[in-house]
Chains A and B, each alone.
Chain A
Amino acid sequence: MSEAVMQADRPEAQEGGAKDLLSKFDDVIALRQNLLASGAEDPFSLVMEKVLSPTRAICNGRDTILLGTYNYMGMTFDPDVIAAGQAAMADFGAGTTGSRVLNGTFRDHRDVEAALREFYGMDHAMVFSTGYQANLGIISTLAGKGDYIVLDIDSHASIWDGCAMGNAEVVPFKHNDIEAMEKRLKRIPEGAGKLVVLEGVYSMLGDVAPLAEMVKVAKANGAMVLVDEAHSMGFIGEHGRGVAEEQGVLDEVDFIIGTFSKSVGTVGGFCVSNHPKFEIMRLVCRPYVFTAALPPAVMASSATSIRKLMHGGEKRAHLWENSRRLHAGLTALGFTLGTDEPQSAIIAVVMPDLERGAAMWSALLTEGLYVNLARPPATPAGMTLLRCSLCAEHSSEQVETILGMFERAGKAVGII
């Protein structure tokens, strides 16, 4: 596999004079080659040979603590969640082989949408095959030609791709800058439709948006508001509904986007809304219509998990305790973190550059710890980050073990 990407110097013109369409990726190929030549294990082809629990797996042959999986509430191995999936698979088969609007809506697709309406206390819920498709579909369908999308510059790729897929005018503003957002909203021509797109938790640095102010400013300027709460569902806010709930503006948000692949522990994406015309989206949203519906087992597991998350108070408290313990420990060791205080279950450790970031990632893996290596263009300001995402199932002892691993690896690589 890796030999196939080791040919950066392949001549651009192939036999017969045809231009190689893949030669535009030569820079990326060279970057990867240099990284691997430095002796680091390949951060982008890790294999989990065996998953032992939400927090432990055999990775590349080693017993490894998982600290980069977004499995915030540890629901992947919940016995009820597994049992619900097993029963649905036995009763309804392995897959749907069809679109939601044709033959792909089974009992459990309806039930998971009911579970979402209960969880958020909202009138409508629409389930997509992934969170990426939920943003892609909802944003590209809502904002059409002549409309304006005003969005944070650090938005997730799925939001940008939703913008690119539609025909609206796209206007970014500086990250979390309320004034920059307001100025742009005020300059939009009168009569144009406006959609403000925000995230509750920004996944790269794990920082939270000032939604209370931003949603109010957006509403005062006649915009509809969409908030992606992918990284907050289940543990931020009184009912785990996210940052908008915690900051008291959930009622003013028109569309909440979320995912099942984080706290819920399965796969899938969704949009919930109180808009009276929301159901028409099922017929006009192409990434919803032109793809197969998720397997019934995934839907049954998700519905069970969502309903259990409604009563996850103790797990939430422990997750926050883990987040605070790791943040304080890493700060004390001398690492530079993405936020001054823990704002979510993501703790981002800032690396001096990609080379030392990759070396640190590799050293941690050798210690038996998996974190995410994040690099530009996914990261803001060209940063290389080691992203840690905590789980409610990490024990306090595991967090102490993790800190020991960071200390040894950080000293070995010369970062602390």
Chain B
Amino acid sequence: MDRATVDERIRAILDEFNKKGVEIADATTFAGDMEFDSLTVMDFVAAIEDEFDIIISMNQQAEIETYGQLVDAVTSMVSE
């Protein structure tokens, strides 16, 4: 799966969590720009995991701060 496809599918999921209508770019941060709290993070991560049938462990989540980093990480996971 290429990065553009992953981007498109994550964007569709993120829409449901983007209550404030924040404009999404690669540099958009989940904690800062989108104001995700820990509960939202859990639900969002679970939705991504189910969409791509992958695991994003807490250890990996700690390395992901921005939207672009998430797309990169998922793209790399699904191509493994």
Specify which chain A residues have a CB less than 8 angstroms from the CB of B42 in the assembled complex.
153, 172, 174
B15 to nearest A CB, angstroms?
A: 21
The answer to whether B57 and A171 touch across the interface, beta carbons within 8 angstroms, is yes
A413 interface residue (CB < 8 Å to B): no
> Complex formed: what's the CA distance from A153 to B46 in Å?
12
Chain B interface residues toward A at CB < 8 A: 37-39, 42-43, 46, 49-50, 53-55, 57-60
The answer to whether B59 and A169 touch across the interface, beta carbons within 8 angstroms, is yes
The answer to whether A187 and B57 touch across the interface, beta carbons within 8 angstroms, is no
A266 to nearest B CB, angstroms?
A: 34
The answer to whether A180 and B54 touch across the interface, beta carbons within 8 angstroms, is no
A165-209 vs B, CB cutoff 8 Å, 1 = contact: the mask equals 000011111100000100110011000000000000000000000
Chain A interface residues toward B at CB < 8 A: 148, 153, 163, 169-174, 180, 183-184, 187-188, 377, 381-382
Q: Tally A-B pairs: CB < 8 A.
A: 35
Which residue of chain A lies nearest to B45 when distances are taken between CB atoms in the complex? A172
Q: Could you list 21 A-B pairs, sorted by A, with CB under 8 Å?
A: A148-B55, A148-B57, A153-B42, A169-B59, A169-B60, A170-B58, A170-B59, A173-B46, A174-B42, A174-B46, A180-B46, A183-B50, A184-B55, A187-B49, A187-B53, A187-B54, A187-B55, A377-B38, A381-B39, A382-B37, A382-B39
The answer to whether A169 and B57 touch across the interface, beta carbons within 8 angstroms, is yes
Besides A170-B57, A173-B46, A377-B38, 11 more A-B contacts (Cβ < 8 Å) are: A148-B57, A169-B55, A169-B57, A169-B58, A171-B55, A171-B57, A172-B42, A174-B43, A183-B50, A187-B54, A381-B39
Partner of A171, one of B50, B53, B58: B58
Which residue of chain B lies nearest to A189 when distances are taken between CB atoms in the complex? B55
> Complex formed: what's the CA distance from A153 to B43 in Å?
11
Which residue of chain A lies nearest to B53 when distances are taken between CB atoms in the complex? A187
A416 to nearest B CB, angstroms?
A: 27
> Complex formed: what's the CA distance from A3 to B61 in Å?
39
A144 to nearest B CB, angstroms?
A: 13
Which residue of chain A lies nearest to B60 when distances are taken between CB atoms in the complex? A169
The answer to whether A184 and B49 touch across the interface, beta carbons within 8 angstroms, is yes
Which residue of chain B lies nearest to A169 when distances are taken between CB atoms in the complex? B57
